[in-house]
């Protein structure tokens, strides 16, 4: 079997020659569908929103500005201090609804692009 320069690392595609990450299209399509479903339901638990935010943070190495483009969703998980509040029904903010619509319509197209690996700065690696 010949050596390969393409691998999957924690579910993300990685090219060892170009040092680029990407989101596999099947995962992007599943995520887009779940965003559409949540948006049409209108009501959601904080736990479900946290799952969406977690998937977006997982995409971070491969998708540009995903943290910036999910601030409204992230805000909906703030202030949860115990197990019972995670299952509390939360009403979507206008911003969170716009973000869900954005991700539902754009994540698949964004997954077709690759994002270069961002190397850590020397200062970040320094041990005190």
Q: Three-state DSSP class for 127?
A: coil
Q: What is the pTM of this model?
A: 0.82
| 37 vs 51: CA distance, rounded Å | 14
Centre a 10 Å sphere on the Cβ of residue 73 and count the other Cβ atoms it contains.
23
| 101 vs 38: CA distance, rounded Å | 10
Model confidence pLDDT, tens digit, residues 16-73? 888 899 999 999 999 999 999 999 987 899 899 999 999 999 998 899 888 889 999 9
């Amino acid at each position: 079997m010949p050596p390969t320069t393409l691998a999957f690392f924690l579910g993300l595609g990685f090219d060892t020659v170009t040092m680029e990450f990407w989101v596999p299209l099947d995962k992007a399509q599943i995520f887009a569908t779940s965003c559409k479903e949540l948006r049409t339901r209108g009501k959601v638990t904080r736990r479900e929103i946290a799952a969406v935010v977690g998937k977006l943070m997982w995409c971070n190495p491969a998708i540009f500005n995903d943290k910036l483009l999910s601030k409204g969703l992230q805000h909906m998980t703030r202030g949860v201090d115990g197990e019972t509040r995670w299952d509390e029904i939360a009403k979507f903010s206008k911003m969170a609804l716009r973000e869900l619509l954005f991700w539902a319509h754009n994540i698949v197209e964004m997954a077709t692009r690759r994002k270069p690996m961002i190397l850590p700065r020397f200062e970040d690696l320094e041990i005190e």
